[in-house]
Amino acid sequence: MSNFEFLKKDNRYRVFTDACIEAEKLMNVSYSATVTFTRKALELAVKWVYANDGELRMPPQINLASLIRGKKFRDIIPYNMSGLLSYIQQLGNKAVHSERIVKREEAVLSLRNLFSFTTWIDYSYSEDYSDVEFDESILGENDKIVKVQSEKDELSKQLAEINKKLEELSNENQTLRKENEEKRKVNEKEREYKIDEISEAQTRERYIDLVIENEGWIIGKNCIPEVEILGIPTPSGKGKADYVLYGDNGKPLAVIEAKKIDIDPRIAKNQVKEYADALEKQYGTRPVIFFTNGLDYYIWDDTDYAERKVSSIYSKKDLEKLVFKRRNKTRLKNIMIKDSITNRAYQKEAIIRVAEALESRRRKMLLVMATGSGKTRTAASIVDVLTRHNWVKNILFLADRTALVKQARDSFKEYLPNLSLCNLLDNKDDVNSRMIFSTYPTMMNAIDEAKDKKGNRIFTSGHFDLIIVDESHRSIYKKYQAIFDYFDANLLGLTATPKSEIDKNTYKIFELEDDNPTFAYELDEAIKQGYLVHYGKPLDVGLKIVRDGLKYSELNEEEKEEFEETFDGEEKEEISSEEVNTTLFNRDTVDLVIKTLMNNGLKVEGGDKLGKTIIFAVNQKHANFIVERFNKLYPEYRGKFAEAIYYNIKFVDNMIAQFKDKNSYPQIAVSVDMLDTGIDVPEILNLVFFKKIRSKAKFWQMIGRGTRLCKDLFGPRIDKERFLIFDCYKNFEFFEVNGDGKEVKNSKSVSENIFGAKIEIIKSLQHLKYQEKPFIEYRDKLISEVILDILGINENRFDVRMKGAIVDKYKKLDKYEALDEKDVKEIKDVVAPLVIYEESDELAKRFDYLIYTIENAYLQNKSFLKAKNKVKETAESLSELGTLPKVLEKRQLIMDIQKDEFWNNINIFQLEEIRNELRELIRLLDKLATKIYYTDFKDEIVDYSEHESAGEFKIINQLVNYNKRVERYLEDFKNNDVIKRLKNNLPLSLNDIKYLEKILWDELGTKEEYTETYGKIPLLKMISKIIGMDRDAVEKEFSEFLSDENLNSNQINFVRHIVDYIAQNGSIDKEKLQEFPIVNKFGGVGELFKNKTDVLIEIIGAVEKVNGRFEHISQESGFSSN
């Protein structure tokens, strides 16, 4: 007797009937064998459906996971069947690929789910369907019957042969397949089918077991369910923990409390704490606490942190690592920072700020550091400190460009040679390394795909202890939120965007107050301190055609003739400025920019060669055209001096490496997005903004390409002191008027947009005025499509599992009875990004979205003029392809759409007709690709001037007469040996002082002019005030305080202010010390150093030593310094 006996009545089912019956018989042999063969039987049954239903086609990958996830397959099975089949597949996989012990009730449930599916097959395709029920009582018990291995091997062989035959059958018997398809559709209308309620309920209950197993735990071995706990404050003194996870030493690593799926798991917090207390008393080690309802998971490591939401239970290795850190990590007080990695005061302060944040149990930190100030070095030093103190073991570094990932890995290899590193984009590296470098999409894939030798996931939710995000801003977190939700790690964000320009939501992500990052060291400060160079005033290069476009009426006769020839057959009277350098490329426009750069750009090698330069181009065609024109203008460089650099150029990484090499060509890199951020080339002297920029973050990043110092660039001891920016698109003017720029929003996928639009329409059709049959039927159709889309989401994806509760909620039909705004927002924000439409025709999908947008506007009585015009333009474009049979077939509709009167009385059903009838034709428009024009109109530079406002780095000198002459001399002759020795805090001789007196009191003016201008300030002190003191020299005087491990970050910040002031002014009056903001915050220097007064005395002594150098020189020389 078998539950699957009913299948024998139909000879067509024979290919999977025996497999189902054999799987059931194996209950007498092995529950593991049962679920394994149940999975095989399911695969045969599913393939039978594919082979016999005309609506289905075998996917490219013919495996069970692909088959049950196929969209068409999901469309035809009951909406709540998908979870049952996934359970069979996942449990079967576990039984085959792991040492997992399968329980009887799991094997029974797997068979029950198979029974549900096979009864659905019978319901759909049989001539005489009758309802049957699953009978658990007839199932055998383990080990009652012994089946020899040879019999099982023979069965497997037979199943393999059937498998192959079914795959071949899917392409045969097309008539029979079509008949079966029609039969199924008729039966669906005339018969009633309902999934076994026990199957659905138990599948949900068992889900948490699978989650635990997915993390590598073996239930019954190192994961023990229902563990009795003694010493609990209950009448019996006993309790039962749902699960206890054990380490290899037999001690508990974690205790888990599971609540029902519809209950907030946080109500178990105190209950599971009592279990943890009791287990700690019993074993001498405190387990980590988890509580869950199978959808939401919380971790509570109550020795260190409050509870927080996580994506899953920790794996064994992650729990062992957490327990190790708990026992072995040391306080981040008095940390030793290696000068070999970071030796600048501000870098050390950043590291101390991060350490203090971690000590105060903050888990997210944001560092704002100007491009070129050493963000990567600082991050490496933080990693060094945290690994030495056992706060972190595994680290993930994320960047948005392949080149940036490689550059970061190379830097860390230099700074931390003993740390194992892996560039995830390079297959040669070991993914088990301590530190992983990756782009966001690569890591998204690796989470699901990277497995160890046992088949377990490598990148588990607790794998990383620290994630470093290069160039942190809101769009990254929004687009790749799933990564940050999945990994339970401390987060360190790095950005060069000024703190006042950072999006408020970015601060919110890092749980910080607005404009108050963990640490900030900005461009103006770095320039003042001599760590970066400035660009002075950007050069506006005003090109007439770029700014105004082309107007036929304004052209001369010869140019009008060229205009007519170029745009022959097109009714064009002008070309907008937006089209210039996008679809129209004008030779003279590009030539003028190149010549301006070559004539006025900063040069090296005694002025013979243009310095390293980046030209930021609009698009790839623009970049190629710029290089083409450069080679025409300067053929003597034989095509090597300028190169286009963008993503789909072969060996582009090698090209970037050559550009970074100061002794190698290209000298000019024409970049399309690749060099906007993160690339370190200190030799860059010129930047050309040959495109419009509207993102403030990108604007600052692009400026940052030129700010790095470069020693001896112009010859021995002649360093880089500035760089030039040529702005062809008035970008600086834009950011003065529009300080925050325009938000560059993340573009949603077309699938996400379509799904969201359907939800909006469903919501709109709830209105009372649409409660008529045609509207109700259309709404029901959309709801069915939406639910099928949700059921089609791959539940094994890590980002889907984290949103399981919300995804499951909207699989139910009753949720759509009356959607509210909260529902719509939740579906669009959480569910829509997970939906993927498998259709490959991107243009058809875009057309779907366009029509859905109009439908929704129509239902809400809103204007849809812009979208309507796009549809009319599409119809006009299709009209040009009228000789194609498919277009000719829809002639009347295409012609009607172009008429205004057609739209006057449009309704939603006509819109659906347009969508359904034309969507398949849209791909034909590829034949009408956008035309590109190359022209030779005369252009001119109408404005070439220094931009008057250069932000915070504008150099303004309003001093006149004597002091202007002094300052100009000291600037022009700053490399003079005497002035350099004074700046570097080196001893001056009597002759040196005489030389300075002669210059200032004889050649530049008189001693009286000096006294009138500067009063009684001693000569050397005045000069030092203008030229400042070399920062390295100042830091040398205060190095013992800057590196003092016993000072806190506020005290080091005080010393840093002293260094900054002296570097800027050459000395500091002691009264100034009380004026620093950090001192005011604490109410005085004494309060700031109340526990370190001895150190304060030494700091003041160092200040007096620096100030006293002028008096010491004066006394030795016998000269009065004034």
What's the pLDDT tens digit per position in 444-489? 888 888 888 877 889 999 999 999 998 766 667 777 888 888 999 9
Please say which residue of 981, 1007, 1027 terminates a domain. 1027
Indicate the pLDDT class of residue 671, thresholds 50, 70 and 90. Answer: very high
| 874 and 908 housed in the same domain | yes
Please say which residue of 706, 737, 768 terminates a domain. 737
| 183 and 247 housed in the same domain | no
Answer whether 70's CB lies under 8 Å from 59's CB: yes
For the segment 742-770, what is each residue's pLDDT rounded down to a tens digit? 444 455 788 899 999 999 999 999 999 99
Answer whether 201's CB lies under 8 Å from 83's CB: no
pTM of the model: 0.64
CA neighbor of 116 nearest in space, from 194, 170, 51, 58: 194
Neighbour tally for 946: CB within 10 Å: 11
Q: What is the model's pLDDT at position 614?
A: 97
| 64 and 174 housed in the same domain | yes
Q: Is residue 994 part of a domain?
A: yes
Answer whether 677's CB lies under 8 Å from 651's CB: no
Q: How many residues does the chain have?
A: 1122
CA neighbor of 327 nearest in space, from 359, 272, 285: 285
Q: Is residue 546 part of a domain?
A: no
Please say which residue of 137, 169, 190 terminates a domain. 190
Q: Is residue 887 part of a domain?
A: yes
Task: Supply the DSSP symbol for 695.
Answer: B
Indicate the pLDDT class of residue 245, thresholds 50, 70 and 90. Answer: very high
CA neighbor of 391 nearest in space, from 471, 459, 333, 350: 333
Q: How many domains does the chain have?
A: 7
Per-residue pLDDT at 1114 exceeds 80: no
Q: What is the model's pLDDT at position 782?
A: 94
For residue 577 the two structure tokens come to 């400025």
Q: Is residue 319 part of a domain?
A: yes
Q: What is the model's pLDDT at position 151?
A: 46
| 910 and 968 housed in the same domain | no
Q: What is the model's pLDDT at position 99?
A: 65
Q: What does the angle CA 1027 – CA 1030 – CA 1033 come to, to the nearest 5 degrees?
A: 145
Q: Is residue 951 part of a domain?
A: no
CATH of residue 309: 3.90.1570.30
Indicate the pLDDT class of residue 955, thresholds 50, 70 and 90. Answer: very low
CA neighbor of 483 nearest in space, from 418, 397, 425, 387: 397
Per-residue pLDDT at 1045 exceeds 80: no
Least trusted range by pLDDT, from 315-319, 642-646, 950-954: 950-954
Higher pLDDT residue, 1003 or 988?
988
CA neighbor of 1121 nearest in space, from 1021, 1046, 1052, 1040: 1021
Tokens 């550091």 found at: 369
Q: What does the angle CA 729 – CA 733 – CA 739 come to, to the nearest 5 degrees?
A: 120
Q: What is the model's pLDDT at position 603?
A: 93
Per-residue pLDDT at 48 exceeds 50: yes
Q: Is residue 1118 part of a domain?
A: no
| 67 and 177 housed in the same domain | yes
Q: Is residue 26 part of a domain?
A: yes
Q: How many CA atoms lie within 13 A of 567 on its CB side?
A: 17
| 273 and 177 housed in the same domain | no
Sequence letter at residue 318: D
Neighbour tally for 573: CB within 10 Å: 10
Indicate the pLDDT class of residue 184, thresholds 50, 70 and 90. Answer: confident
| 380 and 470 housed in the same domain | yes
With a CB cutoff of 8 Å and minimum separation 6, the contacts of 131 are 119
| 447 and 520 housed in the same domain | yes
| 446 and 492 housed in the same domain | yes
For residue 936 the two structure tokens come to 């030779």
Domain region containing 994: 962-1027
| 629 and 675 housed in the same domain | yes
Alpha-carbon distance of 723 to 951, in angstroms, equals 15
CATH of residue 661: 3.40.50.300
Alpha-carbon distance of 240 to 642, in angstroms, equals 72
| 516 and 388 housed in the same domain | yes
For the segment 49-78, what is each residue's pLDDT rounded down to a tens digit? 998 888 888 765 577 877 887 778 888 998
| 788 and 815 housed in the same domain | yes
Mean pLDDT of 722-742: 77
With a CB cutoff of 8 Å and minimum separation 6, the contacts of 434 are 387, 393, 394, 395, 419, 420, 421
Indicate the pLDDT class of residue 98, thresholds 50, 70 and 90. Answer: low
Q: What is the model's pLDDT at position 81?
A: 82
Alpha-carbon distance of 1023 to 970, in angstroms, equals 8
